[in-house]
Amino acid sequence: MKSIFEYLGILLIVFSLASCSNTKFQKLEQVDNEYNLSTESLLLNVEHTRKIDSLYDLGTDGFFNGADNVQIYYKYFIQDSLEKGAIVISSGRTEAAVKYKEVIFDLFKNGYSVYIHDHRGQGFSGRMLADTGMGYVDKFSYYIDDMKYFYDHYVAQHNHKNIYLLAHSLGGAIGVTYLEEYPDDFKAAAFSSPMLGFGFPVCQVIGLLTGDEPKYALGHTNYADGIDCFEENTLTGCEIRYDRMNQIFEELPKARLGGATYQWVYKSCKQFDVIFENISNIETPLILFSAGDEEIVCPAAHNEFIEKLNALGMEQQVYLVDGAKHELLIEKDEIRIPVLTKVLDFYAGLNK
């Protein structure tokens, strides 16, 4: 017999899928591959994937002591010759730097130094629970504290002329909060499917489901039990990149992370309030992409975010990416190439 909490959890899923929509952004059009970005056909070429792996292996990596003494893994790639700037990647939940090999390769070969760190509780960074597969964070603010330390002690130390942010999903919530707290650190910011809200009534009832002991949220499991086949996945329509992602984590089990806990969802919901309460602090030019077939975060929150920026008189570029699932940076070429092209065009337009 199901408990009241299990029924509430089922209602969460039903209502959240029904309450999220996005109709107000301009649609992203197809473009030529002018930046010579990696393609699906090239990913089938052993020589090309060897180049991607070789660059990644040449990066400088290590650990620093993050907030509350959690070890944070980082990696960066510095241009030897005259660079266009530096890009700091803030990744999504469950992700690790190693998943961004292809993105790093594309950004680096287009003249940018690249920095990335694994958020606490995922990738090769320290975990806070005995069950290391659980998605958990003690305080959401620790994510921002870690990112600020990384920026001050590694990124800023290389005296780049311009520093840009590229943030995805959870990394978007972290990135927006960072812009609100430190408006002078980034020249511009690009957001891929930023996590700015969940569908109604997730945040309205999550407090009822969150106890003292961390437990997987409804529908979430340990990594080993939760791998979907490609046809059932909600992340990407690109089977080649989906398989590459899974292969990476199969080969590197220590970098894996399973589902989110109720505690992680609860603290994320509280952070959404912080984000929208402090939106007037944002001064950084930004570009935002919202996936047309989004099932992970709530696109309606993207609308609300942009409407509030518009009300403050702040200009930005915003795009609805038709046919795209959540993971725009590992989507099919016809989605990924236009997204990254717009990002690089946006950075270049401010590269003065």
User: pLDDT band at residue 149, thresholds of 50, 70 and 90?
Assistant: very high
Q: Closest Cα partner for 125 from 265, 256, 248, 217? A: 256
pLDDT in tens, 259-294: 999 999 999 999 999 999 999 999 999 999 999 999
User: pLDDT band at residue 219, thresholds of 50, 70 and 90?
Assistant: confident
Mean pLDDT of 63-87: 96
pLDDT number for residue 82:
83
Mean pLDDT of 13-39: 78
Region of poorest pLDDT, from 16-25, 221-230, 253-262, 326-335: 16-25
pLDDT in tens, 250-260: 999 999 999 99
Q: Is the pLDDT of residue 18 over 70?
A: no
Q: Which domain holds residue 213?
A: 4-349
Under DSSP, is residue 64 helix (H, G, I), strand (E, B) or coil? Answer: strand
User: What distance in Å separates the CA atoms of residue 157 and residue 268, rounded to the nearest whole number?
Assistant: 31
Number of structural domains, the chain?
Answer: 1
Contact 14, 321 (CB under 8 A): no
Q: Is the dihedral of CA 144, 145, 147, 148 positive or negative?
A: positive
Give the CATH number, domain containing residue 82.
3.40.50.1820
- Please give the structure tokens belonging to residue 205: 């009832």
Mean pLDDT of 199-216: 91
Q: Closest Cα partner for 114 from 70, 66, 55? A: 55
- Please give the structure tokens belonging to residue 179: 């812009």
pLDDT number for residue 50:
99
Looking at residue 177, its amino acid is T
User: pLDDT band at residue 154, thresholds of 50, 70 and 90?
Assistant: very high
Q: Is the pLDDT of residue 3 over 80?
A: no
Q: Is the pLDDT of residue 194 over 50?
A: yes
pLDDT number for residue 351:
82
Mean pLDDT of 156-171: 98
pLDDT number for residue 290:
98
pLDDT in tens, 112-143: 999 999 999 999 999 999 999 999 999 999 99
Q: Is the dihedral of CA 190, 173, 142, 61 positive or negative?
A: negative
User: What distance in Å separates the CA atoms of residue 46 and residue 31, rounded to the nearest whole number?
Assistant: 26
Stated length of the chain: 352
User: What distance in Å separates the CA atoms of residue 116 and residue 74, rounded to the nearest whole number?
Assistant: 6
DSSP string, 317-341: EEEEETT--S-GGGS-HHHHHHHHH
Q: What percent of the chain has pLDDT over 70?
A: 92
pLDDT number for residue 15:
47
- Please give the structure tokens belonging to residue 35: 């930046």
pLDDT in tens, 227-244: 668 999 999 999 999 999
Q: Is the pLDDT of residue 10 over 60?
A: no
Q: Are strands 316-321 and 85-90 parallel, antiparallel or unpaired?
A: unpaired
Region of poorest pLDDT, from 111-115, 187-191, 211-215, 321-325: 211-215
- The pTM score is 0.94
DSSP string, 90-112: E--TT--GGGGHHHHHHHHHTTE
Q: Count of alpha carbons within 13 Å of 168, Cβ hemisphere only?
A: 27
